[in-house]
Amino acid sequence: MVSLDDTQPRPPVDFVNPAAPPPRSGPGCLVWFMVGLMTLGISGLIIMLSAVAGLSAGQRTAQVNATASQSSVINDQLNRFATDVADNNPFFLQKRIEFFATLGIPGPPGIEQTATALFVNNLPTATPPPTATLEATVQTVVEATLTPLVTVSNGSGFDLAALFQDAQTAAGVADWDRAITTLDAIMGLDPTFRPDEVKALLIDSMSKKALQLFRAGDIGDLAEANRLYDRLVQFGANVDELTFESYIAGLYLDAVNASGINFSVATQRLAEVYRQNPNYRDVRSRLINEYILYGDALLTTQPCQAVGQYQTALTYNPNDAVASGKAAAAQNSCFLAASQTAAPLLGTPPPGGIAPVGATGS
Cβ atoms < 10 Å from Cβ of 280: 18
What does each of the 362 residues of the chain score in pLDDT, given as a tens digit? 555 555 556 655 555 555 555 555 556 667 667 777 777 778 777 777 766 666 566 666 556 555 556 666 667 766 766 776 666 666 666 666 766 666 556 666 656 656 666 666 665 554 444 433 333 333 333 333 333 333 444 455 689 999 999 999 999 999 999 999 999 999 999 999 999 999 999 999 999 999 999 988 788 899 999 999 999 999 999 999 999 999 999 999 999 999 999 999 999 999 999 999 999 999 999 999 999 999 999 999 999 999 999 999 999 999 999 999 999 999 999 998 888 765 554 455 555 444 444 444 44
CA angle, 95 then 66 then 156, to 5°: 15
| Integer Cα distance of 208 and 199 in angstroms | 14
pLDDT at residue 361 in the model: 47
* DSSP per position, 169-232: HHHHTT-HHHHHHHHHHHHHH-TTSSHHHHHHHHHHHHHHHHHHHHHHS-HHHHHHHHHHHHHH
pLDDT at residue 340 in the model: 77
| Integer Cα distance of 179 and 201 in angstroms | 8
Residue 89's SS3 state is coil
CA angle, 214 then 216 then 222, to 5°: 35
pLDDT at residue 319 in the model: 95
